[in-house]
Amino acid sequence: MDDHRFCENCGHDLWMRRGGAARAPSGPCPACGTTGSNGVVGANGFGVDEAGEDYCGTCGLRRSDGTEHVEADLGRVAGVSDRGLVHVRNEDAMAVGVLDPPDGPTLVAAVVCDGVSSVDSPELASRAGADAALVRLLHPGGPNMKEAVGEAATAVAALADAGYRNPPSCTLVAAVVDPGTGGDPTITVGWVGDSRVYWLAAPDAAEPARLLTVDHSWAVEMIAAGALDVETAMADRRAHAITRWLGAGGEPEPDVVTFRPAGPGLLLLCSDGLWNYLPGAADLAEAALPRLERGGPAAVARALTTIALDAGGRDNVTVVAVPVGPSDERRY
Amino acid sequence: MADGAASGAGAFTVDVDQNSYLPVDATRVDAIVTVTAADGAAGPAPASEVLEVIVVDCSTSMTGSKIRAARQATVAAIAELRDGVSFAVVAGNHVTRQVFPTHGTAVADAGSRAAATRLVERLQAEGGTGIGNWLTHVGGLAREHPGSIKHAILLTDGQNGESPEYFSNALNGALGAFTCDCRGVGTDWRVDELRTIATAMLGTVDIVADPADLAADFRSIMGEAMGKSVADLALRLWTPRGASVRFVKQVAPAVEDLTDRRTEAARQSGDYPLGSWGAESRDYHLAIEVPQGAVGDEMLAGRVSIVRPGSGDTPEQVLGQGLVKAIWTEDTALSTRISRGVAHYTGQAELAEAIQEGLAARKAGDEVTATARLGRAVALAAASGNEGTARLLGRVVEVVDAPSGTVRLRRVVADVDEMTLDTRSTRTVRVRGDG
């Protein structure tokens, strides 16, 4: 069905536009100027060792993999992922994309993954999970959230073969917007772990702002099960411990919700680097919607990232914004 | 967060315990590196690749119960030799004489073990003590067995009669040729002398106060030696440009400073000899001075590789690897976190020092220093749960209050107690709660 999808000359994908990945820069070490030919530790030119770590073979500085600050703006979806102010690496990853086949609806999808810090190379898990899920969500045969999360889980699990003591793992939250035939978009959201999706709209909108996901975290599950009250659960040392994740030892079973909003709004995907500072949907809407009006989803992603950094930036921050509904009908 | 890095494919695991977060102006990085032979990789080496030499002091001072015990111990050690292992028994006094075989080495089997035993039973005590000469002789035997695990047991009861220059040349000449476990029998030998040899030869030193215990001790040394699987390992430490290595110390099972044993290896790398290795685990404390970084920088401060040298057609092999990191942060909650392992072993190294300084001061008649240093040792031993050392300390000082290190020197201390404490001062315990 996708015979004409790829350019006959260069193999370029003509239907899908993607963003969100960062590539490791090549060339000399920015700190000491060493190039691959005059100072190497490992076989790849810059001392990548068996554990997948990447340091300059001369001065020892970790070489940037380009993920300190990543921005993606595809118009219909935009995101920012930032290392934050405390963490050495950005262990979050995002993947955003638009599939525009000639004879089908234009799908918009976004994925945010947050690496589990206590394992080896969590940034690899996030990257692999986000990419695998996005590709499946933007399949011309139609999005399938369960399959997308399943493929992400497989991709993350495959990293364990590289001989890690604590194999990489991550959370995942994904959303796909199908515009529908009659102008009624369908939104499907799937998640594993404590990254979140919010629906943002004005307080008086037909479809009011709210959190669409339920964290797979110790505290939330304790509260949901009626075992503990909110205060006791949140005060516990384990409150933020995630109970589902992709990767070794995790339960990659996603929760999936589908809904057709009664009005236009903004879909917001984020890692806990944002929602730890601004957990309420109404507050997020208040911060986001004026920016959407003025600068589109890219301005929203940038503004919310800045809010998290200004509040301390203790964790990696990833924010992806997807406007939903025809722009001329949107009332915020 | 766990800072340990996976070692990938290899017969050894290398675990790194450190707090990699440094405050803005800090440049010193400390780490405890645990090297463990992986399961299944540590079977004993083929017997044909093992050389064992037993050196028995036969000087006049050994006359009587000591030489009888030395004979029994040597016979017991011979009985432990695996079939196929190359071996020799050497009698040492002011000259060095091979007891069995007459020249070179023999291969262990029922016949050669019986022949060696018969000759050992006739050993007599006469003449002086020339330990340097003995080491030179064993070095010569060892060099005939390249690539093998080469181990010696050296038993003496007396002080070396050679000139310091002669001895030190002989010791230097034997470095790296074989590993040597040293035993002092009785109380007429000098702890520092044997410790110098054991340290240089990457072996252990201990006192066997009662000659009757020698046979059991030799049997256990041989059991260890026969279980070694890899010869001549080295710890290779890569450090970034502009960095300097402050020290590399083995800290478990005993403290051994390897800093001065470095030989330059690959670019920005040096090798520290580890001797031969069996199914065991050892801990090393590394301290590296690195160039200052900016806040948010992450630097590889050291890359520890366990290397087996190449020989003949076999290329050099990296058996395991671990990373030591430095991350500069303004977050004091991160940078002030103390690595339990680093703190523990810093304490164990100080414990050994305090004992040795305290005993030296006591010998010199400086009771104030002796009381202070041995008191500090009592406090450190108590705090770290080093019960073996605490018990030995208790025979030299009267402990008034262990946690504060309040002690009184004992008026009368048996030589054996003082020497035992001195000899075993470098023995460490691992961090509490660890398997």
CATH of the domain at A303: 3.60.40.10
Residue A122, domain member (yes or no):
yes
Task: Say yes or no to pLDDT of A40 above 70.
Answer: no
Chain B interface with A: residues with Cβ < 8 Å: 1-2, 4-9, 238-243, 267-268, 290-291, 293, 296-301, 303, 321, 323, 327, 329, 331, 334
**C-beta atoms of B321 and A32 within 8 A:** no
Angle, helices B415-423/B191-200, rounded to nearest 10 degrees? 20
Task: Say yes or no to pLDDT of A48 above 80.
Answer: no
Task: Look up the domain containing B387 and give its range.
Answer: 340-423
Q: Which of A29, A50, A169 to mutate to test the interface with B (most CBs of B within 10 A)?
A: A50
**C-beta atoms of A60 and B240 within 8 A:** yes
- The whole-angstrom separation of Cα B52 and Cα B113 is 13
Q: Which of A32, A38, A40, A41 to mutate to test the interface with B (most CBs of B within 10 A)?
A: A41
Task: Say yes or no to pLDDT of A50 above 90.
Answer: no
Residue A175, domain member (yes or no):
yes
B240 and B139 together in one domain: no
- The whole-angstrom separation of Cα B277 and Cα B235 is 12
Residues from chain B contacting residue A117 (CB–CB below 8 Å):
1
Tokens of B32: 């405890």
**C-beta atoms of B6 and A120 within 8 A:** yes
Among A21-35, A152-166, A236-250, B170-184, where is mean pLDDT lowest? A21-35
Residue B321, domain member (yes or no):
yes
Q: How many interface pairs between A and B have CB atoms less than 8 angstroms apart?
A: 77
Task: Look up the domain containing A199 and give its range.
Answer: 67-329
Q: What pLDDT is recorded for position B8? A: 34
Q: What pLDDT is recorded for position B9? A: 34
B204 and B80 together in one domain: yes
Residue B377, domain member (yes or no):
yes
Contact A301, A80 (CB under 8 A): yes
Question: In the listed set B293, B310, B335, which residue is the last one of a domain according to the structure?
Answer: B335
Residue A54's closest chain B neighbor by CA? B300
Q: What pLDDT is recorded for position B369? A: 97
Q: Which of residues 127-156 of A touch B (CB under 8 A)?
A: none
Q: Which of B237, B295, B303 to mutate to test the interface with A (most CBs of A within 10 A)?
A: B303
Sign of CA dihedral B388, B392, B393, B399: positive
Question: In the listed set B290, B312, B335, which residue is the last one of a domain according to the structure?
Answer: B335
**C-beta atoms of B243 and A60 within 8 A:** yes
Question: In the listed set B335, B366, B398, which residue is the last one of a domain according to the structure?
Answer: B335
Whether A332 has its CB under 8 Å from any CB of chain B: the answer is: no
Residues from chain A contacting residue B1 (CB–CB below 8 Å):
117-118
Mean pLDDT, residues A300-306 taken together = 97
Q: How many CA atoms lie within 13 A of B99 on its CB side?
A: 31
Contact A195, A113 (CB under 8 A): yes
**Domain count of the fold of chain B:** 3
> Smallest Cβ distance to B1: which of A59, A118, A164?
A118
Q: How confident is the model at residue A32 (pLDDT cuts 50, 70, 90)?
A: confident
**C-beta atoms of B321 and A51 within 8 A:** yes
Task: Say yes or no to pLDDT of A180 above 90.
Answer: no
Residue A27, domain member (yes or no):
no
Mean pLDDT, residues A95-114 taken together = 93
Q: How far does the CA of residue B252 sit from the closest CA of chain A (Å)? A: 23
> Which CA distances in Å does A270 have to A85, A211, A226, A274, B147?
17, 11, 27, 6, 59
> Smallest Cβ distance to B4: which of A32, A53, A165?
A165
B76 and B165 together in one domain: yes
CATH number at residue B363: 1.20.120.1690
Contact A23, A63 (CB under 8 A): no
Q: How many CA atoms lie within 13 A of B297 on its CB side?
A: 24
Q: What percent of chain A lies above the pLDDT cut of 70? A: 89
> Smallest Cβ distance to A53: which of B1, B5, B290?
B5
Residue B430, domain member (yes or no):
no
B304 and B418 together in one domain: no
Residue B434, domain member (yes or no):
no
Whether A166 has its CB under 8 Å from any CB of chain B: the answer is: yes
Residue A162, domain member (yes or no):
yes
**C-beta atoms of A50 and B290 within 8 A:** no
> Smallest Cβ distance to A163: which of B9, B327, B331?
B9
B204 and B135 together in one domain: yes
- The whole-angstrom separation of Cα A114 and Cα B205 is 53
Residue A322, domain member (yes or no):
yes
- The whole-angstrom separation of Cα B352 and Cα B388 is 13
B316 and B356 together in one domain: no
Q: How far does the CA of residue B330 sit from the closest CA of chain A (Å)? A: 8
Closest alpha carbon to A286 in A332, A231, A238, A225: A332
Q: Please report, in tens digits, the pLDDT of each residue of chain B (435 residues total).
A: 222 333 333 478 899 999 999 999 999 999 999 999 876 556 788 898 999 999 999 999 999 999 999 999 999 999 999 999 999 999 999 999 999 999 999 999 999 999 999 999 999 999 999 999 999 999 999 999 988 999 999 999 988 999 999 999 999 999 999 999 999 998 989 999 999 999 999 999 999 988 889 899 999 999 999 889 888 899 999 999 999 999 999 999 999 999 999 999 888 899 999 999 988 899 999 999 999 988 888 899 999 999 988 877 778 888 888 889 999 988 888 888 888 899 999 999 999 999 999 999 999 999 999 999 999 999 999 999 999 999 999 999 999 999 999 999 999 999 999 999 999 999 999 875 443
Q: What pLDDT is recorded for position A38? A: 34
Q: How confident is the model at residue A297 (pLDDT cuts 50, 70, 90)?
A: very high
Alpha helices in A104-191 (DSSP H): 122-137, 145-158
**C-beta atoms of B6 and A32 within 8 A:** no
SS3 (DSSP) at A111: strand
B351 and B297 together in one domain: no
Residue A44, domain member (yes or no):
no
Residue A167's closest chain B neighbor by CA? B6
Residue A279, domain member (yes or no):
yes
Residue A84's closest chain B neighbor by CA? B296
Residue B21's closest chain A neighbor by CA? A88
Whether A50 has its CB under 8 Å from any CB of chain B: the answer is: yes
Q: What pLDDT is recorded for position A37? A: 35
Residue B5's closest chain A neighbor by CA? A51
Long-range CB pairs of B332-339, under 8 A, 24+ apart, other chains included: B332/B23, B334/A86, B334/B19, B334/B21, B335/B19, B335/B21, B335/B22, B335/B23, B335/B26, B336/B23, B337/B19, B337/B21, B338/B19, B339/B17, B339/B18, B339/B19, B339/B30, B339/B31, B339/B32
Task: Say yes or no to pLDDT of A13 above 90.
Answer: no
Distant-in-sequence, close-in-space partners of A162: CB < 8 Å, separation ≥ 6? A52, B8
Whether A237 has its CB under 8 Å from any CB of chain B: the answer is: no
State the pairing for strand pair B179-185/B205-208: parallel
Task: Say yes or no to pLDDT of A243 above 80.
Answer: yes
Q: How confident is the model at residue A6 (pLDDT cuts 50, 70, 90)?
A: confident
Q: How confident is the model at residue A55 (pLDDT cuts 50, 70, 90)?
A: confident
pTM: 0.76
Closest alpha carbon to B7 in B251, B275, B264, B318: B318
**Domain count of the fold of chain A:** 1
Q: Check residues A251 and B166 and name the one with the higher pLDDT.
A: B166
Q: Tell me, what DSSP letter sits at residue B110?
A: H
B201 and B265 together in one domain: no
Contact A81, A93 (CB under 8 A): yes
Residue B318, domain member (yes or no):
yes
> Smallest Cβ distance to A41: which of B238, B301, B327?
B238
CATH number at residue B21: 2.60.40.3670
Total length of chain B: 435
Residue B269's closest chain A neighbor by CA? A41
| Token pair 């993999």: residue | A65
Residue A123, domain member (yes or no):
yes
Q: What pLDDT is recorded for position A52? A: 45
Whether A37 has its CB under 8 Å from any CB of chain B: the answer is: no
CATH number at residue B54: 3.40.50.410
> Smallest Cβ distance to A60: which of B6, B299, B321?
B299
Mean pLDDT, residues A227-241 taken together = 89
Whether A311 has its CB under 8 Å from any CB of chain B: the answer is: no
**C-beta atoms of A165 and B5 within 8 A:** yes
Angle, helices B164-174/B131-143, rounded to nearest 10 degrees? 20
Residue B402, domain member (yes or no):
yes
**C-beta atoms of A60 and B329 within 8 A:** no
Mean pLDDT, residues A118-127 taken together = 88
Residue A68's closest chain B neighbor by CA? B296
Residue B325's closest chain A neighbor by CA? A60
B344 and B317 together in one domain: no
Q: Check residues A101 and B288 and name the one with the higher pLDDT.
A: B288
**C-beta atoms of B303 and A165 within 8 A:** no
B208 and B308 together in one domain: no
Residue B318's closest chain A neighbor by CA? A50
B220 and B331 together in one domain: no
Q: How far does the CA of residue B241 sit from the closest CA of chain A (Å)? A: 5
Tokens of A224: 């949901």
Q: Which of B24, B298, B323 to mutate to test the interface with A (most CBs of A within 10 A)?
A: B298
Residues from chain A contacting residue B318 (CB–CB below 8 Å):
none
Q: Which of A55, A56, A116 to mutate to test the interface with B (most CBs of B within 10 A)?
A: A55
Closest alpha carbon to B128 in B153, B80, B93, B103: B93
- The whole-angstrom separation of Cα B92 and Cα B103 is 15
Q: What pLDDT is recorded for position B388? A: 94
Phi, psi of A149 (to 5 degrees): -65, -40
Residues from chain A contacting residue B245 (CB–CB below 8 Å):
none
Q: What is the dihedral of CA B317, B322, B328, B331, to 10 degrees?
A: 170
**C-beta atoms of B6 and A117 within 8 A:** no
**C-beta atoms of A164 and B1 within 8 A:** no
Among A2-11, A46-55, A156-165, where is mean pLDDT lowest? A46-55
Residue A14 identity: L
Q: Tell me, what DSSP letter sits at residue B148?
A: S
B307 and B185 together in one domain: no
